[in-house]
Amino acid sequence: MRKTVSEKKKGRRGMKPASFKEQNSLFVAEGCDNLPACKQYNEQFQTDEVISCWEFTDDELVQILKDVKAGKRPQIFLSIIGGQPPVALFMRSGNHARNN
């Protein structure tokens, strides 16, 4: 994962890619963290799909809790380089499959 200009200035990074039970691929690129992923065929949309898992940093978790306590709804931003393909962001608890 590349650092944004604001992250470089602040000297910190955001969410980190995480290994997960269903992963069957590892994407590697110079200057980026390795990205564990599950590459599979999506029957519903009849196309290939790549799923990755991300973990919040401790600082991000603290900020989420502060926001919730202050009555704010935390937000996550998604940046796609080179256009906007169909994407889905979701959470799951423990080892439960995602909701389709």
Tell me the backbone φ, ψ of residue 41, rounded to 5 degrees: -95, 130
* pTM (predicted TM-score): 0.70
Question: What mean pLDDT, rounded, does the chain reach?
Answer: 83
What percent of the chain has a predicted confidence (pLDDT) above 70?
81
Which pLDDT tens digit goes with each residue over 48-95?
999 999 999 999 999 999 999 999 999 888 887 887 788 888 888 765
